[in-house]
């Protein structure tokens, strides 16, 4: 079993030619990505393409039924788990109310396929954050928006918090989903609850596996994969599965080359995130050290059954932050992986708490 299969959910994604639908008729034009979209009011927009970001070409998709709707930039998890192959199935209905942007981050999905990293290439949180800010400014310019909405899940919530802290003026609001807070605290909380749950259930296999890796932090990157497999097993007991069609890649992402690139990206990014001796990007994650004052609305959406980012850890962080508006939304029967109830809760937050102020 590959690291991709173990970690798939560490989700809860030259100047290229962009194919644009700029009216309700399916008229395709070729746009320079630095030029603004010629689309107003009820015009549809559908664009897929590479855009120069951070010195390389990075893959971005844009979907919306009306050009005058607010824009959401989704930050996928992983960091290598691009959501663009699955986004239309999961979020497609949102396109009536928002313009939806998926971005294959550096070393993820089609961006990875376009820019295979060298053996000495290192992913850094600073570079990924700078990429995210550049993507945000591109979208503001390209779509003619003063601000956009920012949302990130799991690893994407780390990236999103850094972006929101650095440049709050770019965003209407930040919506964190399965918000990660700090490496050691998050890992320790997961290990503790899994140890207790497996002992209570008489699950000798899981108990033995946890005992074999010992309490975090770890120097062996495989240990997180072992624990993640157990969290998925126990979350499945208390949450509904996601609809099966969600995880069927769209045709453009289902070619042998695209599937191979996606799997290679997942493995590469995981090692960069954890580090071969625990020194990867995750070791730098400590959101309280960024400061607790946010200068934009902050909404955190969290599954009650999440065993990766424990509710108590995220809630303690939330209680300490200040923001012009903030809310902590608990979603019953949701874990770390997205399912229908979780997606519905996120949509409700977007519609009721974010969209009214994002026009």
pLDDT digits (tens, 9 = 90+) for 78-110: 999 999 999 999 999 999 999 999 999 999 999
Q: How far is it, in rounded angstroms, from Cα 30 to Cα 13?
A: 24
Q: Is 202 left (phi over 0), alpha (psi -120 to 50) or beta?
A: left
Instruction: Show Cβ contacts of residue 269 under 8 Å, excluding neighbours closer than 6 positions.
Output: 78, 79, 80, 81, 107, 108, 112, 123
Q: How far is CA 243 from the centre of its chain?
A: 19
Q: What is the pLDDT of residue 38?
A: 67
Distances (CA, A) of 261 to 107, 119, 248, 256, 285: 10, 16, 16, 9, 27
Helix or strand (DSSP H, E) at 328: strand 326-331
The upper half-sphere exposure of residue 204, i.e. CA atoms within 13 Å in the direction of its Cβ, equals 0
pLDDT at 325 over 80: yes
Given the DSSP bridges, would you call strands 28-31 and 18-21 parallel, antiparallel or unpaired? antiparallel
- Quickly state the pLDDT bin for 128 (edges 50, 70, 90): very high
Strand, helix or coil for residue 208: helix
Please tell me the CATH superfamily of domain 3-185+238-357, with its number.
Alpha/Beta hydrolase fold, catalytic domain (3.40.50.1820)
Q: How far is it, in rounded angstroms, from Cα 58 to Cα 246?
A: 24
Mean pLDDT of the chain: 89
Q: What is the pLDDT of residues 144-158, one digit of tens each?
A: 999 999 999 999 999
Q: What is the pLDDT of residue 357?
A: 86
Q: What is the rounded end-to-end Cα distance, in angstroms, of the chain?
A: 46
Distances (CA, A) of 162 to 152, 205, 261, 279, 318: 11, 38, 27, 19, 15
Q: How far is it, in rounded angstroms, from Cα 324 to Cα 344?
A: 25
Predicted TM-score of the model (pTM):
0.90
Q: What is the pLDDT of residue 272?
A: 94
Q: What is the pLDDT of residue 33?
A: 56
């Amino acid at each position: 079993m590959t690291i991709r299969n173990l970690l798939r959910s560490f989700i809860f994604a030259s100047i290229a030619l962009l194919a644009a639908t700029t009216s309700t008729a399916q008229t395709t034009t070729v746009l320079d990505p630095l030029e603004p979209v010629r689309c107003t009011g009820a015009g549809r927009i559908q664009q897929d393409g590479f855009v120069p970001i951070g010195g390389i070409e990075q893959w971005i998709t844009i979907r919306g039924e009306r050009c005058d709707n607010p824009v959401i930039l989704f930050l996928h998890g992983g960091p290598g788990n691009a959501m663009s192959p699955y986004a239309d199935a999961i979020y497609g209905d949102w396109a009536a109310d928002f313009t939806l942007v998926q971005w294959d981050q550096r070393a993820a999905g089609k961006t990875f396929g376009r820019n295979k990293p060298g053996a000495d290439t290192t992913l850094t949180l600073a570079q990924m954050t700078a990429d995210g800010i550049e993507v945000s400014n591109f979208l503001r310019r390209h779509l003619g928006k003063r601000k956009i909405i920012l949302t990130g899940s799991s690893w994407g919530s780390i990236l999103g918090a850094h972006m929101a802290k650095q440049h709050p003026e770019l965003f209407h609001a930040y919506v964190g989903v399965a918000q990660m807070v700090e490496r050691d605290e998050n890992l320790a909380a997961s290990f503790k609850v899994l140890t207790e749950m497996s002992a209570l259930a008489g699950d000798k296999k899981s108990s033995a596996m946890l005992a074999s890796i010992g309490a975090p932090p770890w120097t062996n990157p495989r240990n997180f994969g072992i624990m993640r497999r157990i969290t998925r097993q126990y979350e499945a007991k208390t949450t509904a599965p996601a609809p099966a069609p969600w995880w069927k890649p769209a045709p453009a992402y289902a070619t042998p080359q695209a599937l191979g690139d996606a799997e290679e990206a997942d493995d590469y990014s995981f090692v960069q995130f954890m580090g071969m001796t625990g020194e990867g990007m995750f070791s730098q994650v400590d959101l309280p050290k960024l400061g607790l004052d946010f200068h934009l609305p902050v909404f955190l959406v969290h599954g009650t059954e999440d065993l990766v980012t424990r509710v108590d850890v995220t809630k303690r962080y939330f209680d300490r932050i200040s923001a012009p508006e903030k809310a902590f939304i608990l979603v019953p029967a949701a874990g770390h992986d997205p399912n229908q109830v979780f997606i519905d809760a996120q949509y409700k937050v977007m519609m009721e708490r974010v969209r009214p102020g994002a026009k």
